[in-house]
Amino acid sequence: MIELNFGAGNDRLLVPVMWLFVAVLVTFVATRLVTRHIRARSTREPSESTTEVESGATTEVFRDINIGGVHIHHQVFGILLMAIVGVALIATTPEGAALNIFSAAFGIGLALTLDEFALWLHLDDVYWSTDGRKSIDAIFCALAITGVLIGGSEFVSGTIGSSGWWLSICYLLIGLAISVVCMLKGKFVTGIVGVMVEPIAIIGALRLAKPDSWWARRRYATKPARMQRARARFGEEYNARWNRMRDLVAGEHGTGTS
């Protein structure tokens, strides 16, 4: 769907996006290590940890931040950081090292925010619940998209109004339509990544829809055999397999809160 260029002329884009990618990856890993440490400590010594937090006497470097009895989630810092960086980028339009620094700072904010994607999606503290795994999917999408962007990319090519320009516009719209089909089939990660890598979207669009998706409810209602195949394909074993992969990266989900 996108045209990738790896020439020297794209260094202005390559380096900042690379810093963005690295910042998202490193911040996500560091955040998950910290939150897993906090969770393990609170699970191991719940009464002692609660007493220390309430008294403010804890000497732990990594701990939940509570101000006035309110738990400040790390997405708050991510949102504030992205807002500050966004304003700075618009106001100063930096180049060179300054642009790389801003890119890395924005990546840190993006990772902190997306790591609690499930929380602001559900408007509930579901960080360690089953729904909390959606945050892992969000981070994966961000890494996949920024990873593809490294090296430079053009969504539309050619001079505006030329045949090549119109051809690239049509190609882009077709690709977006294929990605929408993926999402209607319940494959949101595939659809989002497929915006950048079209073969992934094509494969996702051609294969069976998830049984609880909009597509399955509308298209498989009169096709019981296909619905049965979808349920068999995307059953408990499928979900368990992908959940094991998510939990291996980010910690075991299913119970507890952030």
- Strand partners for 3: 154
For residues 128 and 39, the answer to whether their CB atoms sit within 8 Å is yes
* Host H or E run for residue 43: helix 11-44
> What is the C-alpha to C-alpha distance for residues 84 and 90, in angstroms, rounded to an integer?
10
Q: What is the token pair recorded at 242?
A: 């992908």
**C-alpha–C-alpha distance, residues 227 and 213, integer Å:** 11
pLDDT of residue 113: 95
Give the separation between CA 94 and CA 89, rounded to whole angstroms.
7
- Structure token pair of residue 74: 């790390």
pTM above 0.85, yes or no: no
Backbone angles phi, psi at 162, to 5 degrees: -80, 165
3-state secondary structure of 6: coil
The confidence score (pLDDT) of residue 154 equals 62
Are 171 and 150 a contacting pair, CB within 8 Å? no
Residue 112 near residue 85 (C-beta atoms within 8 A): no
SS3 at position 19: helix
34-52 tens-digit pLDDT: 998 888 887 765 555 455 5
Give the model confidence (pLDDT) of 112-123 as tens digits: 999 999 999 888
Question: What distance in Å separates the CA atoms of residue 159 and residue 127, rounded to the nearest whole number?
Answer: 47
pLDDT digits (tens, 9 = 90+) for 132-144: 888 998 999 888 8
How deeply is 171 buried, as exposed, middle or buried, from its count of CB atoms within 10 A (0-12, 13-18, 19+)?
middle
- Give the number of other CB atoms < 10 A from CB of residue 169: 15
Which pLDDT tens digit goes with each residue over 143-166? Answer: 888 887 775 556 667 777 788 888
